[in-house]
Amino acid sequence: MKTIALGLTASLATLLAAAAPSKIAKPPQVTFSKDVAPILVKNCQGCHRPGETAPMSLLTYQEARPWAKAIREAVVLKRMPPWYADSHFGKFSNDRSLAQSEIDTLVAWADNGAVEGDPKLAPKPAQFVDGWNIGTPDLVLEMAKDYQVPAAGTIKYEYFTIPTQFTEDKWVKMAEVRPGNRALVHHVIAYVQEPKKPGETKKADREFLVGFAPGSVPEILGPGRAKLIKAGSEIVFQVHYTANGTAGVDRSKGRASASSRSRQATTSSSFPPERPITKWNRSSPYAATPR
């Protein structure tokens, strides 16, 4: 009996130990200040701030908290940030999509109370350029006159032709287009229209130069690359206006940094560039740029 009693005691101890609550460490709580704010600073606040085209500001916790569930839905469905290239077909230098880890962080924050956390852990506020993003340009082109945008109705795409006055071919390394009235401009695409050659009855097809839409960035080409604009070319703005209940005016403009064929670049490369871009047919301001 004594041996049996000892055996039973040992077995009960084992069962009790197995039934005791396990001390599994809980994952750290996802907070706005420590985890979410860095993602918004990097990927979202360029548009989601006062004066830009996004419908709400996400600069602070107080501004972002009411939109937690909407943010969750937008990133899970990959509607935001806007990026439509298929990753199965290459790597792109202007890829603005979120990493899966960033999506998971935003989802966890929204699903667990969307708490603020310690404000001292938040990153420094992002610094935004007031005006143009490409620095001092060599050329500024704008619509010849204001366009009157009605308060209501569907507005067809409008096209505005702007002469470059180029007397020689130019190589463009950077270009940016900005709307005159962000509240009414949905997007702008700037095309290059080459002049007709002798004997031609119609102009050549327009070629994409740069575009604007919420979340888009300036066209900044890498080392040794530049886009050719031939002498006598025109820039054509395709503008999509969206009526918002209040009539207004717009006069969008574009800027570019360009060099002539004979001028040397600021780096050791000369023009024409090592990797010239002579044909670039794109039709979206969100178009992907191959690496």
CATH of the domain at 181: 2.60.120.230
Give how far the C-alpha of residue 84 lies from the chain's centroid of Cα atoms, to the nearest Å. 11
Q: Which of 58-62, 165-169, 277-281, 286-290 has the lowest mean pLDDT?
A: 286-290
Which of 121, 147, 167 is the last residue in one of the domains?
A: 121
CA–CA distance, 233 with 194 (Å, rounded to integer): 4
CA–CA distance, 49 with 63 (Å, rounded to integer): 10
Rounded average pLDDT over 166-191: 89
For position 21, what pLDDT does the model report? 52
Whether 131 is covered by a domain: the verdict is no
Give the residue with greater pLDDT, 253 vs 18. 253
Q: Which of 8-12, 120-124, 191-195, 232-236 has the lowest mean pLDDT?
A: 8-12
* Judgement on whether residues 53 and 90 belong to the same structural domain of the protein: yes
Element (H, E) at 3: helix 2-19
DSSP state, 34? I
* Judgement on whether residues 112 and 157 belong to the same structural domain of the protein: no
* Judgement on whether residues 264 and 199 belong to the same structural domain of the protein: yes
Whether 20 is covered by a domain: the verdict is no
For position 16, what pLDDT does the model report? 42
- 99-104: long-range contacts, CB 8 A cutoff, minimum separation 24: 102/39, 102/43, 102/75, 103/75, 103/76
Whether 47 is covered by a domain: the verdict is yes
Sequence-distant (≥ 6) Cβ neighbours of residue 176 within 8 angstroms: 132, 133, 134, 137, 210, 212, 218, 219, 254, 255, 256
The most confident of the ranges 16-25, 48-57, 148-157, 279-288 is 148-157
DSSP state, 264? B
> Domain range spanning residue 226?
139-277
Whether 9 is covered by a domain: the verdict is no
Q: Is residue 73's pLDDT more than 90?
A: yes
Give the residue with greater pLDDT, 134 vs 185. 185
Q: Is residue 199's pLDDT more than 50?
A: yes
Q: Is residue 261's pLDDT more than 90?
A: no
Could you tell me the pTM of the whole model?
0.68
Whether 198 is covered by a domain: the verdict is yes
Q: Is residue 288's pLDDT more than 60?
A: no
Whether 217 is covered by a domain: the verdict is yes
Rounded average pLDDT over 169-176: 88
* Judgement on whether residues 172 and 267 belong to the same structural domain of the protein: yes
Overall number of domains in the chain: 2
Backbone angles phi, psi at 20, to 5 degrees: -65, 145
* Judgement on whether residues 164 and 103 belong to the same structural domain of the protein: no
Query: Are 184 and 149 a contacting pair, CB within 8 Å?
Result: yes
* Judgement on whether residues 150 and 257 belong to the same structural domain of the protein: yes
Whether 39 is covered by a domain: the verdict is yes
Which of 90, 121, 152 is the last residue in one of the domains?
A: 121
- What length does the chain have? 291
* Judgement on whether residues 106 and 176 belong to the same structural domain of the protein: no
Provide, rounded to the nearest whole percent, the portion of the chain with pLDDT above 70. 78
Sequence-distant (≥ 6) Cβ neighbours of residue 207 within 8 angstroms: 191, 192, 194, 279, 280, 281
Query: Are 176 and 255 a contacting pair, CB within 8 Å?
Result: yes
- Find the angle CA(234)-CA(285)-CA(133) to the nearest 5 degrees: 80
* Judgement on whether residues 239 and 146 belong to the same structural domain of the protein: yes
CA–CA distance from 257 to each of 124, 144, 285, 287 (Å)? Answer: 31, 21, 19, 21
Burial tier of 136 (Cβ tally within 10 Å: 0-12, 13-18, 19+):
exposed
pLDDT tens per residue, range 42-61: 999 988 988 777 889 999 99
Q: Is residue 149's pLDDT more than 50?
A: yes
CA–CA distance, 155 with 232 (Å, rounded to integer): 31
Whether 200 is covered by a domain: the verdict is yes
Q: Is residue 71's pLDDT more than 90?
A: yes
Rounded average pLDDT over 59-82: 96
Quickly state the pLDDT bin for 276 (edges 50, 70, 90). Answer: low
Which residues, in sequence order, are bridge partners of residue 276?
Answer: 226
Which residues, in sequence order, are bridge partners of residue 208?
Answer: 191
